[in-house]
Amino acid sequence: MVAAVLFLSLVALLFFSVPIGICLGLATMVVMLFVDGTPPLVLLARSVVTGADSFPLIAVPLFVLAGDLMQHGGMSRRIVAFANSLIGHIRAGLAYVNVLACVFFAAISGSSPATVAAIGSNMIPEMEKVGYSRRFSSALTASSGMIGVMIPPSIPFIIYGVTAEVSIGKLFLAGVIPGVMFALMFMFIARILLRKESDVVESSVPFSVGSVASNFRTSFWALLVPAIILGGIYGGIFTPTEAGAVAVVYAAFIGLFVYRDIRISDLPTILAQSALTSGTILILVVMAAAFGRLVTLAQIPTQLAESLTSLSSNPILILLLINLLLLVIGMFMETISSIIIMTPILLPVTTALGVDPIVFGVILTVNLAIGFCTPPLGVNLFVASGISGVSIERISIAILPFFVGMLVLLMLVTYVPALSLALPSLW
């Protein structure tokens, strides 16, 4: 009864386009008010306060602000220039540059749409100049942008770590190998797709050691960000939350006084944009705390686990069903919302199957990252479409080969846990 009322209320509110954070709170309130045997309404207020009272959660607005400062501070442009000087001269090199630049920027922003916006605004016009179609360039950029939530620091990993109460530092490490694998896979697929493209020419910029050295010097301060953040976390100098504060101070200093692409007058706009993004995420988190508490008290995860195991006792099949469920959810729901809602429901199920919570965090994030590239939600598609002017429909068709590669790697991440656990086991 509780599960039916809770999820029907949630679906009904979503149908009327109520913001997801408000949906979670209202659906929880409806159950507490009208279903017998549920906790009193005061639990909603207590859960909201408890959900907000989290030190690791402070990392979210800090990394969001750091990402905005870095994007406005010209770091993405310099990273693209450095990557182009390295491999832009070879045939199809700009496709590789696109992916490599996304990897670099992912290690700065922690956000998939931000990666697409920052790299796409630079790369899509440049690729068109040397013969790449806007359709292909947009699909490649939208696909590569998903790496933004896998390479640390990752905002979805932070949200999962807070929700599941697991080490955010270990989650960051767990995403490195899968993130690199996705990057290599995108490069491989791009090369196959371009093998018969006679119009694609080499970059107009020839390779030279001097150019590489020059671009390395100008991008050095941007490339140093991941080393500072990750080195500080794993060197025991500061926590992931404190790393967010360090990233904000560093990004502001470099943008204002080194690159000088940010003026003091730009700061109110950047802060307002960051506050809007962070506020949306934090409302989701605190409302979902009450939602998750009610889900747990109603024993919904236990019931779901029993339902799945009644279908099959084979862990391989159950994990496949969970992946299918998450892929569908990723197509229709925003990533942070999905993590907050599905973690308390599915984590007990996967734990019962013997799946490490760190591995499940990677599986969950990869599934939902694929949702960035699939309609109808497909945030990366919309960002790439807005930059390139190519319709969502055409990008959605062009992205299909990359989507197949994503599914293949998703299966590897799901069934080869060593890919996710190799680095965390060393820390």
Note the pLDDT of residue 355.
Answer: 93
Instruction: Quick: pLDDT tens for 394-404.
Output: 999 999 999 99
Contact 112, 146 (CB under 8 A): yes
Bigger pLDDT: 157 vs 44: 157
Closest CA to 123 of 150, 104, 151: 104
Cα–Cα distance between 223 and 127 in angstroms, integer?
23
Residue owning tokens 């990402």? 67
Instruction: Quick: pLDDT tens for 276-287.
Output: 878 877 787 778
Q: Which pair of structure tokens corresponds to residue 363?
A: 């599986």
Note the pLDDT of residue 34.
Answer: 79
Average pLDDT over residues 297-301: 73
Contact 146, 189 (CB under 8 A): no
For residue 138, what are the CA distances in angstroms to 142, 303, 350, 355, 399? 6, 43, 36, 36, 9
Q: Using pLDDT thresholds of 50, 70 and 90, give the confidence band for residue 206.
A: confident
Give yes or no for residue 301 having a pLDDT over 70: no
Cα–Cα distance between 8 and 336 in angstroms, integer?
21
Average pLDDT over residues 156-170: 91
Listed in sequence order, the DSSP H helices in 16-89 are 20-34, 42-52, 59-72, 75-87
Report helix, strand and coil shares of the chain as percent, to nearest 5.
80, 0, 20
Query: 42 phi and psi, to 5 degrees?
Result: -60, -25
Closest CA to 295 of 25, 82, 3: 3
What percent of the chain is modeled with pLDDT above 90? 27
Average pLDDT over residues 200-218: 77
Average pLDDT over residues 364-371: 92
Note the pLDDT of residue 323.
Answer: 93
Closest CA to 417 of 368, 353, 372: 353
Contact 59, 172 (CB under 8 A): no
Q: Which pair of structure tokens corresponds to residue 389?
A: 């002017």
321 Cα distance to chain centroid: 22
Query: 260 phi and psi, to 5 degrees?
Result: 60, 30
What is the rounded average pLDDT for all residues in the chain?
Answer: 84
Contact 319, 353 (CB under 8 A): yes
DSSP 263: -
Q: At what angle do helices 335-352 and 267-297 cross, to 10 degrees?
A: 40
Note the pLDDT of residue 404.
Answer: 95
Q: Which pair of structure tokens corresponds to residue 261?
A: 């692409």
Q: Cis omega (within 30 of 0) on the bond before 19?
A: no
Listed in sequence order, the DSSP H helices in 258-333 are 267-297, 300-311, 315-332
Cα–Cα distance between 326 and 320 in angstroms, integer?
10
Instruction: Quick: pLDDT tens for 46-81.
Output: 777 777 777 777 877 888 888 788 878 888 788 888
Average pLDDT over residues 103-132: 80
Closest CA to 28 of 12, 50, 57, 7: 7
Contact 203, 209 (CB under 8 A): no
Contact 290, 28 (CB under 8 A): yes
Instruction: Quick: pLDDT tens for 186-205.
Output: 999 998 988 766 556 555 56
Note the pLDDT of residue 352.
Answer: 85
Instruction: Quick: pLDDT tens for 73-114.
Output: 888 788 888 888 887 777 778 888 899 888 888 777 777 887
Q: Using pLDDT thresholds of 50, 70 and 90, give the confidence band for residue 139.
A: very high
Note the pLDDT of residue 253.
Answer: 93
Note the pLDDT of residue 181.
Answer: 96
